[in-house]
Amino acid sequence: MQLLNIKELRTGTKPALSMPYIQPEPKIFACTQSQALAEKIAKSFGAPIGKVITSKYSDGEFQPSFEESVRGSRVFIVGSTNPSSENLMEMLLMLDAAKRASARHITAVMPYFGWARQDRKDKPRVPIAAKLVAKMLEVAGATRIITMDLHADQIQGFFEKPVDHLFASTLFLPYLKSLNLENLTIASPDMGGSKRAYAYSKALESDVVICYKQREKANVISHMELIGEVTGKNVVLVDDMVDTAGTLTKAADLMMERGALSVRAITTHAILSGNAYERIENSKLAELIVTDSIPLKQQSDKIRVIGCADLFADVMQRVHTNTSISSKFLM
């Protein structure tokens, strides 16, 4: 005999069958400065890039608007936050818009996490901008952060939300191995990057040298000294970013003076401000290898760009399917 529940007895009707929950497809949106990279990521991910319209006012104020529903969806917002501050502001506004449009998961995909050099108080009465940016991203609505080669690993601790910190070594090491350089030596342009240089040297089974530098002020080096031997070596400088290229070019010139056969540099984020392009062209660097986390302002024969879209797309797919991403870390 079929049993009726209380509701059936009261109303005389059978309850409707509940529909199974269908998880919406993930959606990828781009901030203005990372449009080209986001399109490559979306293509590799296998999803169309979402439509965003940005309204601009005459005084410079702007308002991004999602032109499709994101309710209940997993949203990926791609945008590097290199200065100017408009890039960060656009990311914050898009996170807030997604939150208010009832997106289920909101991931800020930030190939380059800007303002990261201000990660501590190095003198009195200065801000810790990296911590401030982390809090703003969380308040705006980010439930997860995906970024690459933070200036300092400890910045992950500024967030209460999960941070997937990717390493560009996944991209650079295969290229370095393909060069088949003999007498290879890995170099760090400063003391702070020694850990990164050691990790590369371990993977490539090579020696390490370190440059010791003293800054007169921001972007101005007063003195540089070399710790280690580079005579007869093919040197590869390793750093997380290149801004004015002052450190890299000075280090390259110093190493060539000390008898190095060649000097290359790999840097994840090509900020390249001021007269950086001119410095690189006039330096003794054989090659500067970067990712496309930040679009280049101009082309140069000495600069080789290695795409990071496939790496980010793969990690985003793993995040969406709740799969481990630990296999993506080579160091």
Q: Which two tokens stand for residue 217?
A: 């002020």
Backbone angles phi, psi at 115, to 5 degrees: 70, 15
From CA 208, how far away is CA 236, in angstroms rounded? 10
21: DSSP letter = P
From CA 143, how far away is CA 136, in angstroms rounded? 12
Would strands 52-56 and 62-66 be described as parallel, antiparallel, or unpaired?
antiparallel
Q: Which two tokens stand for residue 327?
A: 């296999």
Catalytic site includes residue 213: yes
Q: What separation in angstroms does the CA of 319 have from each of 27, 47, 60?
A: 13, 15, 36
Tracing tokens 């296999």 back to the chain, one arrives at 327
Q: Reading across the β-sheet that carries 27-30, which strands appear in turn?
A: 27-30, 74-78, 105-110, 144-148, 163-166
Q: What separation in angstroms does the CA of 116 have from each of 145, 155, 261, 322?
A: 14, 8, 34, 28
Q: What separation in angstroms does the CA of 183 have from each of 207, 215, 254, 265?
A: 9, 31, 18, 16
Tracing tokens 């410095």 back to the chain, one arrives at 279
Tracing tokens 């160091």 back to the chain, one arrives at 331
Question: Which SS3 state, helix, strand or coil, does residue 298 take?
Answer: coil
Is residue 75 packed enough to be buried (19+ CB in 10 Å), middle (13-18) or exposed (0-12)?
buried
Nearest to 76 by CA among 146, 154, 165: 146
The residue annotated as part of the active site, out of 7, 40, 99, 213, is 213
Within 242-300, residue ranges assigned H as helices are: 246-257, 276-282
From CA 313, how far away is CA 324, in angstroms rounded? 14
The residues annotated with a catalytic role in the active site are: 213
